[in-house]
Structure 1
Amino acid sequence: MDIKTNSLYAQMQNMQLEAMGNRMSNVENNITPVNQSTSDFGSMLKQAVNAVNDVQHEAKDKRNAFEMGDRSVTLADTMVTAAKASIAFDATVQVRNKFVEAYKEIMSMQV
């Protein structure tokens, strides 16, 4: 995993622990905090989407360079980058689907 993906994964794990109510101290849980910054969920989501967008642009640039005959770009590099972009996009779609499901569930709750 690259640094951006690893950081996002760690942030998602921390949010999951908080959502499950495991808010005991990090010493009791033997969990070392990965990210000390306090940022809201919207900015983290925006950063994740921007990271996926960057990966897709990189794949597009490599594909264009390969199609134009740039000898510094190999077919293997192009295919690996395209696969990374595809996986990142699929993961983003799955996260969106989970958000929509959660929203529908919350909206159907009776108060």
Structure 2
Amino acid sequence: MNNFQINRALAEMRALAAQAGSQTKAAERTAESDFGDAMKQALGTVNALQQDSGDKQAAFVRGENIALTDVMIASQKSKVAFEAVKQVRNHLLEAYRTVSNMQV
């Protein structure tokens, strides 16, 4: 191989490395935004369930035509959803603490 072929091969390798690096960064950004979007969606769902539960409880107290079972089911759904989000938060905090305590 002469110098020209070596330089050409190195240039191709650098171009491929740069392309692979940009694809990896794009994939990381996508994964981060996917997780963030999933968390936002989960929090939105929990919020909607809690509002629905509160509305049904208020309607029942006002004497509107709503079954007590519907009120209790809505209350339990919001409770379970909130507990699930709370557990995800706890696991994230624990993972953060573990990583921050690692020695480099």
TM-score computed with the length of structure 1 as normaliser? 0.63
The corresponding residue for 1:85 is 78
Matched, 1:109 2:102: yes
Aligned residue pairs total: 74
Matches within 5 A, 1:1-111: 39-71=33-65, 73-111=66-104
Q: What's the CA shift string for 1:27-79, capped at 9, x where partnerless?
A: xxxxxxxxxxx8521111111111111000000000000000001x1101000
Q: Which runs of 4+ in 1 moved over 3 A?
A: none
Distance 2:84 2:35 in 1: 17
**Structure 2 spans left out of the alignment, 5+ residues:** 1-30
| Structure with a larger share of its residues in helix | 2
What TM-score comes out, normalization by structure 2 length? 0.67
Q: What CA RMSD, in Å, does the superposition of the two structures yield over aligned residues?
A: 1.6
Cα deviation, residue 110, structure 1:
1.3
Q: Which runs of 5+ in 1 are unaligned?
A: 1-37
Matches of 1:54 and 1:65, distance apart in 2 = 16
Q: Which residue of 2 aligns with 1:7?
A: none
Partner of 1:15: none
Aligned identity (percent) is 44
